[in-house]
Structure 1
Amino acid sequence: MNPTDLSVMALGGATVLYAIAMVAYAIRLARVADEKVAARAAAAVPVGAGGPATPSTSGGEAPAASSRGARSAKAAGIARSSTLVGAVLHGVGLAARGIDAGHVPWSNMYEYTISGSFFAVVAFLVLQRRRDVAYLGAGVTGMATISLGLALTVLYKDVDTLPPALQSYWLIIHVSIATIVTGIFAVSFVVSALQLMRDSRDGGSRWTGDRMRWLDAVPAASSLEALSFRLNAVGFVLWTFTVMAGAIWAEHAWGRYWGWDPKEVWSFVIWVLYAAYLHARTTQGWAGRRSAWLAIAGFTALIMNFTVVNLFFQGLHTYAGS
């Protein structure tokens, strides 16, 4: 088996495992929400003073709760193991692609997609070691599934030699940080989306009724906002380094630090949006929904920079869309 076949097979296996994990995480969310609803219902039932417990509360509710807890734990175990094994296969596929290409796998849209989605899953796994963020699992593994699926079916490109502009050690420095920060911003995007949905549910929005009961398993909107802020703060520092490293690389490759190339412009737009988010969140009191929408706008600009700019704008970075 050659490295190309190994890479494609490993990435295909990772896609399947991420899809399984996405379903398992979604089932866990539903089970945990059911447990919380049942617990609130049980607490709301008045107990007669000194009277005996009714059969439904003494003999039926506890086994039902135990059964729900067991199913939730089983779904969580499947989700964690599928995500972990999927990440291992993902890493193998990424490494095999690099070996086959003879350089780091960050030279085109296909390679950047498989790299960025890998770092999103890794960021989620690292975060999960520090706190219980299983409620993010369905969103993160869902994005990884879609990303790998598109990469393998739409964006795939055979190994090719690097363009002269990319034959530099700055490819490792600049693009590695860009892929890592893309993963962090992707996780933050999931957090901000959940924050908006949870805030709408807490506010009594009709569209988050019984169909969105799984949101009961998600932390309060304020907790999600705090987590999003921490992730975006780390991501912003790394993106600042990405823009600076790109400018230095541009001077080495093209003799100027900044030339208003479409890719450079959009990288700056992303920096401005996240800078505005951090500034507004810390000094102007833009807490709540407004900060979440600003964070989502930043990630949307990031996706547009990767897709629309790469595919439809001509510039010195045109090779990135190949």
Structure 2
Amino acid sequence: MPVNQTLAQFSDWSYFTAFAFYLFAFVVAIAFYARRISAADLAAKSNERELVGVGAGAGSAAVDVDAPEGPSVSESTAVIDGKPAASAKAEKQLALAHKLGVTAEMLIYVGVAVHFASVLLRGLATQRFPWGNLYEYVSVSILFSMAIAAGVLHRESMRVFWPWLLAPVLALMFYGGKNLYVEAAPVVPALQSIWIPIHVTIIAIGASIALVSGVASILYLLRMRQPVGKEKGVLGKIVLPLPSAQTLDSIAYRTAIWSFPLFGLGIVLGAIWAEAAWGRYWGWDPKETVSFISWIIYALYLHARATSGWRNSKAAWINIAGFSTMVFNLFFINMVVSGLHSYAGLN
């Protein structure tokens, strides 16, 4: 079936336009995150000064800040609109952070819409479901991940995740567009099956949710090293806006609960497709084997997370290991190892 080159060109333009929107959103999200760091830092200083002031007030006379003579008023006693200076500055930083967060979110929504247009136009151009090679699969997986994240991270307290999530998304999208790109074309006969939209879609959704879960586990490990209220050094400044370790662990666990059965269902449906295409359900092909290993690791993570003695960094490391095997399967197995699933579309 001939390819509509005009639609294919529009699809490519939409892909890079979506990347641009995500990149702008990333820059704004970093500015938002920096303002949240500043606000949290000022709020912490304000609390410390209030405690010091209370301690000093118990054993000394109050200072008349309106006195025309005497020493200058320090920042610890300065007042802006009836509030301590540090506290007032913190509120201004939070207000600015809110505006930046909303802006980043709007850019992400537009990026997701344009990204969806890219995938849709690719499908219309080739008259098939647009995930027949590695470039298309990466694009679709990123689209699912961003769409799911946009629905989950819309609350004010969740926006601090965006810089951390957009970083790997941009890296994957840049690599996909630069190194994995192939011209729109019909797929090989083995992929001309009704099973491709079923099997690949479920696998892609499961992998996209696993990305959110993996990022949450990484942030959980960072927060465990820098508990709330005990942040120190440069790393402490970086994690200052993040929620508690318990909240991050809960996000990682709840998203993994969704990813695990979807990924498992995708493997089962892939086995059914394999029987129809190759006459066997399972052949320990490299991609099948690593996919099964990833699924087992996620099963271990969910079991470890439900076991009281493992509800700490051990379980989080297992979750990260599971996602790492997914990335290994996506790139190394597809691009380096030869097997029945070598449909990357690359020479």
TM-score (norm 2): 0.87
Q: Give yes or no for the alignment of 1:241 onto 2:269.
A: no
Q: Which residue of 2 aligns with 1:58?
A: 79
Listed as ranges, the matches of 1:211-222 within 5 Å are 211-222=235-246
Contact kept? 2:105, 2:154, Cα under 8 Å: no
* 2:187 pairs with one of 147, 150, 162: 162
* 2:322 pairs with one of 295, 298, 301: 298
Q: Which residue of 2 aligns with 1:111?
A: 136
Q: Which residue of 1 aligns with 2:341?
A: 317
Q: CA deviation at 1:285?
A: 3.0
Q: Deviations over 1:78-99 (max 9, x none)?
A: 2111111111111111111111
Q: Give yes or no for the alignment of 1:94 onto 2:105.
A: no
* Higher Cα Rg, which structure: 2
When the two chains are superposed, the root-mean-square deviation of aligned CA atoms in Å is 2.2
Task: Kindly provide the amino acid, as one letter, of the partner of residue 125 in structure 2.
Answer: D
Task: Kindly provide the amino acid, as one letter, of the partner of residue 211 in structure 2.
Answer: A
Task: Kindly provide the amino acid, as one letter, of the partner of residue 99 in structure 2.
Answer: K
Partners of 1:38 and 1:234 in 2: CA distance? 38
Q: Give yes or no for the alignment of 1:232 onto 2:243.
A: no
Query: Identity of paired residues, percent?
Result: 32
* 1:24 pairs with one of 22, 28, 34: 28
Q: CA deviation at 1:162?
A: 1.7
Q: Which residue of 2 aligns with 1:177?
A: 202
Change (3 A) 1:103 1:132: farther
* 1:39 pairs with one of 19, 40, 43: 43
Q: Which residue of 2 aligns with 1:198?
A: 223
Task: Kindly provide the amino acid, as one letter, of the partner of residue 27 in structure 1.
Answer: A
Change (3 A) 1:231 1:62: closer
Q: CA deviation at 1:70?
A: 2.8
> Per the alignment, in what secondary structure is the counterpart of residue 319 of structure 1?
coil
Contact kept? 1:118, 1:144, Cα under 8 Å: no
Partners of 1:160 and 1:86 in 2: CA distance? 25
Partners of 1:203 and 1:83 in 2: CA distance? 29
Larger fraction in helix: 1
Q: CA deviation at 1:267?
A: 0.8
Change (3 A) 1:95 1:51: same
Contact kept? 1:10, 1:92, Cα under 8 Å: yes
Q: Deviations over 1:110-155 (max 9, x none)?
A: 0001011111111111112477421211122222222221121111
Task: Kindly provide the amino acid, as one letter, of the partner of residue 79 in structure 2.
Answer: S
| Gapped regions of structure 1 (runs ≥ 5) | none
Task: Kindly provide the amino acid, as one letter, of the partner of residue 301 in structure 2.
Answer: Y
Task: Kindly provide the amino acid, as one letter, of the partner of residue 186 in structure 2.
Answer: T
Partners of 2:88 and 2:278 in 1: CA distance? 70
- Give aligned pairs, total: 321
